[in-house]
Homo-oligomer: A and B are copies of this chain.
Amino acid sequence: MADRRHNARDVFPPTGTDLNTKSWLTEAPLRMLMNNLHPDVAENPHELVVYGGIGRAARTWEDFDRIVASLKSLEDDETLLVQSGKPVGVFKTHKDAPRVLIANSNLVPNWANWDHFHELDKKGLAMYGQMTAGSWIYIGTQGIVQGTYETFMEAGRQHYDGNLKGRWILTGGLGGMGGAQPLAAVMAGACCLAVECDEKSADFRLRTKYVDEKTHSLDEALEMIGRWTKAGEAKSVALIGNAADIFPELVKRGVKPDIVTDQTSAHDPVNGYLPQGWTVAEWRGKAETDPKAVEKAARASMKVHVQAMVDFWNAGVPTLDYGNNIRQVAMEEGLENAFAFPGFVPAYIRPLFCRGIGPFRWCALSGDPEDIYKTDAKVKELIPDDAHLHNWLDMARERISFQGLPARICWVGLGQRHRLGLAFNEMVRTGELKAPIVIGRDHLDSGSVASPNRETEAMKDGSDAVSDWPLLNALLNTASGATWVSLHHGGGVGMGFSQHSGMVICCDGTEDADRRIGRVLWNDPATGVMRHADAGYEIALNCAKEQGLNLPGILGR
């Protein structure tokens, strides 16, 4: 497989207003697929890896080329099917149907584990789609900066009276997602010490100014943190080291951070987590030649790592799992109280999900940053009274450079999303924007994921593992006319632990698009409100009533 996956060429999405396909509805997935592999966006584009361990945009380079060719010839009443990153069929549908339907990494439950996945992967039969990698709506680290920022802000509200000045956050991992942590912390007013084993990852964050300093010495890192917190300065440092060594060492020294979390890729014990005592080079090599040995050593180290997090928690430090499934592994390795500290969703995000609020995002197909700035202004105009939202938009513009096609994310919910979508479509229609906009979201959203160790951890009614919901979400988005829809397995927390769906809709300025946007950007967050109302959350039940949702078995009408 290696050769079919490796290619030295660089992919850049087309920009501007000339079509490479027969319409904007096929140009949009074409540009967004290529944007996922843009050298400034993807973690390892030559291997087709976008982010999150081995989350890929296409199964092989040959498949990538065939997807592109298929999109170029696709008619506006045809639909392309993509199966684990391979374009398997083009079928006649109709103009209100999605142009692309995607299913990635799905396995019959009894075989839904990494061993079987890797066995298939070796045969060329599989691809790990993560969440937005295989569904072509990754926009670089801005998405995660916003999510992490919201999480840290909420933690600050709950534990430090809304003021993180002079506080510091300990974490691990500066990869595709984790790299957002120091910047999000600083935006939230806190300092950050991030342990990263791969110097290249740290250097990349330094170059893009997501982290302020780098060191190989724990003592030096602690000295910086001490100095900054004392001065009330919000700054961040990357410490090159192994989190499984550093976290316990801090516990041993009695050092107490103000918040502890982790974003190593623990969900993938072969490719995502450096075992203690190994060099990065040894690890990468052995992951190819002896994956079993890597997995065993990595899992043992995760247990040590989580033990330290439990120790911080027991010492009164707000500690949270940031969705990498590390508690699960530690528990399987025999750490009984691995789940002592909570996941970030039940702790901080669920109240937002109850109102359909989640990681709404959009991208300017023109490639012109001005298009995004104009939409930023439109959001402020349409949602005038939300200081928090306005503050985010200002900071994002100031501190986050665009990667690949210019994009914006902001967390908005049911009742707002379709208003923004219709307004953007109008701006495309009138020529205010240079080219169409695509609107999508993470699979980590209100109605689109079942993941008992993360997004649906500790649901009020115990329905954590029921995955009817994301499947219904995907079917409904397909029925509502999204431009592409995806169903994935194993994103975020790894094989066996999640099922989730994605959707993207293209605002091409047409009146057909108005109708589709009105349905999709209402129905999609509404399924999230429905799912949480069914589980008995008051906020969701009230939101459903306020918004006039028709939920027969839930609201009893």
Contact = CB atoms under 8 A, between A and B. Distances in A.
Interface of A: 62-63, 66-67, 69-70, 79-81, 83-84, 86-94, 96-98, 101, 103-112, 116, 119-120, 123, 125-126, 450-452, 461-469, 471-472, 474-476, 478-481, 485, 487, 489, 495-499, 515, 519, 522-523, 526-527, 530, 534, 549-554, 556
A338 to B, nearest CB: 15
A93 B498 contact: no
Chain A's interface: helix, strand, loop or mixed, by majority?
mixed
Given A125-B462, A462-B125, A527-B89, A108 B475 contact: no
Contacts of A475: 81, 98, 101, 103, 474-475, 478, 485, 487
Given A87-B553, A475-B101, A125 B92 contact: no
Given A108-B499, A471-B474, 5 more contacts: A92-B519, A92-B522, A94-B519, A103-B467, A103-B471
B108 A451 contact: yes
A84 B553 contact: no
Contacts of A463: 120, 125
A489 B126 contact: no
Among A106, A467, A468, A471, the one with the most B-chain Cβ atoms within 10 Å of its Cβ is: A468
A255 to B, nearest CB: 35
A111 B465 contact: yes
A466 B124 CA distance: 12
B497 A110 contact: yes
A123 B552 contact: no
A94 B481 contact: yes
Contact of A88 (B70, B97, B554): B554
B108 A107 contact: no
Given A66-B552, A111-B452, A111-B465, A472 B87 contact: no
Among A90, A467, A527, A552, the one with the most B-chain Cβ atoms within 10 Å of its Cβ is: A552
Contacts of A96: 94, 96-97
B101 A468 contact: no
B499 A101 contact: no
A472 B103 contact: yes
Among A98, A108, A119, A478, the one with the most B-chain Cβ atoms within 10 Å of its Cβ is: A108
A465 B92 contact: no
Contacts of A551: 88-90
Contacts of A462: 119-120, 123, 125
B97 A552 contact: no
Among A466, A480, A499, A522, the one with the most B-chain Cβ atoms within 10 Å of its Cβ is: A466
B553 A97 contact: no
Among A63, A86, A97, A462, the one with the most B-chain Cβ atoms within 10 Å of its Cβ is: A97
Among A70, A461, A474, A549, the one with the most B-chain Cβ atoms within 10 Å of its Cβ is: A474
18 contacts: A67-B552, A83-B468, A88-B530, A88-B534, A90-B552, A91-B550, A94-B479, A94-B519, A98-B479, A101-B476, A101-B479, A107-B466, A108-B464, A109-B496, A119-B462, A468-B487, A471-B471, A479-B479
A474 to B, nearest CB: 7
A549 B109 CA distance: 31
